[in-house]
Amino acid sequence: MIKNNSTVRVSCHCGSIQLDVFLANGLEEIIRCNCSICSRGKGFAMVCVPSEALKIIEGNESITEYIFNTATSPHNFCIVCGIHTHHQSRSRPDKICINVACIDEVNVKDYNNVIDFDGINHPRDL
Ligand SMILES: [Zn+2]
């Protein structure tokens, strides 16, 4: 289990992208969203952190942005392996959401504290 106040390594599948993320609250709040992109991303689960908690260690040149719909939440993908590593939160613009499945040695299925977010009816779309 990930402890509070720990820094974890986040990587894409091919390893081009290497991020360090500081998790003040560990994985206390894992969010699973049902919006059009998250539901297509194999049941994407995320943990959201302040922007300054994310540091790109390697692979800045491998990160591409997918911008869609309201263009307020760029999603970042690896140009080599296509894995979605992180994106800008729409509900909380000061936060970056990290793909929990990309945290080294974390299996999201080991966590039963997953919060469902009704992103298909996003408050910013109403
Ligand atoms: Zn990759």
Q: What are the chain's domains?
A: 6-125 (2.170.150.70)
Query: What was the pLDDT predicted at 65?
Result: 92
* Residue range 57-107, pLDDT digits in tens: 999 999 999 888 887 888 999 999 999 999 999 888 899 999 999 999 888
Distance from the alpha carbon of residue 57 to the mean position of ligand 1, in angstroms: 14
In terms of pLDDT, which residue wins out, 36 or 54? 54
Distance from the alpha carbon of residue 102 to the mean position of ligand 1, in angstroms: 11
If you search the block for the tokens 């800008």, which residue do you land on?
88
* Residue range 98-126, pLDDT digits in tens: 999 999 988 878 888 888 888 888 887 77
Residues with CB under 5 A from ligand 1 (ion): 12, 14, 16, 78, 80-81
Query: What was the pLDDT predicted at 124?
Result: 79
Query: What was the pLDDT predicted at 70?
Result: 83
* Residue range 38-58, pLDDT digits in tens: 777 777 899 999 999 999 999
Distance from the alpha carbon of residue 83 to the mean position of ligand 1, in angstroms: 6
- Region 6-28: what's the mean pLDDT? 97
For the entire predicted model, the pTM comes to 0.87
